[in-house]
Amino acid sequence: MKPFLKWAGGKYRLVDRIKSALPPGNRLIEPFVGSGAVFLNTDYKSYLLTDSNPDLINLFKYLQKEGQNFINYCSSFFTPENNNELTFYQFREEFNATTDLRKKSALFVYLNRHCFNGLCRYNSKGGFNVPFGRYSKPAIPEEDMFSFYQKSANAIFEVADFRETMKKAKAGDVIYCDPPYVPLSATSSFTSYAKGGFGIEEQNDLAAIAKQLQSKGITVVISNHDTEYTNEVYKPAEIIKFNVQRFISSDTKNRNAVGELLAIFG
């Protein structure tokens, strides 16, 4: 099942590899749900899906609540007249200013499909700041949105810090974490996905909580870059390494395979 959002670092192409690392359980917890690729392609009885990005979670909640009616509302923004630079920036400005969360959620879908590379990025003031993408005919992913709506019947969506989410784990739960990755170089950090960023302190806390839950018999699986730091901080875990082709770079020459890992605390 394909996510309806374009998403930097999305796990759709890696779902089978990730699923093979996830044990059976009653509930899957995802503290960094992102586009929901793992949620959509697993079969647990229930899901706790959280993220620090309120725009993302509000969108999922409106889709879960309204289904086709909300999809139809989102479709109203996908017209040929709206696929131009001037309208895009007007909608982006409205998205950043509005207090109408339903409209903001619909505009989130519009921006995701019309902005450059489908990026989700915010400035220091919390404003969405990705430029216009210049696509010829951006289409609303109606079928994928409806599939998400159907799958969401057994899910709870919450805006939450990963620490808060992971503390809710209990026996029978399985946790999959897809945090902002440790940068491969000093210039490659991508931490502005949500206001506040995700630095070394957060990476250390995530690994420490995973170790604590491992000692309680709760499996935690974490995705990240394969670096000297991650190999050290994930030492108590089983580590599976592999290469992944990158598609998000604007320079096609730099879309090389990079080393990733799955750390299995279980």
Asked if 220 and 214 count as a contact pair (C-beta separation under 8 A), the reply is yes
| pTM given for the model | 0.92
Place of tokens 């099942």: 1
Q: Got the DSSP string for 66-126? A: HTHHHHHHHHTT-SGGG-SHHHHHHHHHHHHH---HHHHHHHHHHHHHHBGGG---B-TTS
Each residue of 32-67: pLDDT tens digit? 999 999 999 999 999 999 999 999 999 999 999 999
At residue 59's C-alpha, the angle toward residues 54 and 63, to 5°, is: 150
Q: Supply the pLDDT for residue 198.
A: 85
The type of residue at 65 is K
Each residue of 75-116: pLDDT tens digit? 999 999 999 999 999 999 999 999 999 999 999 999 999 999
Q: 175 phi and psi, to 5 degrees?
A: -120, 130
Q: Name all domains of the chain by residue range, CATH numbers in brackets.
A: 12-52+160-265 (3.40.50.150), 68-143 (1.10.1020.10)
Q: Which residues of 63-74 are buried (b: 16+ CB within 10 A; e: fewer)?
A: bbeebeebbebb
Asked if 266 and 23 count as a contact pair (C-beta separation under 8 A), the reply is yes
Asked if 59 and 108 count as a contact pair (C-beta separation under 8 A), the reply is yes
Low-confidence ranges of the chain (pLDDT < 70): 186-196, 246-255
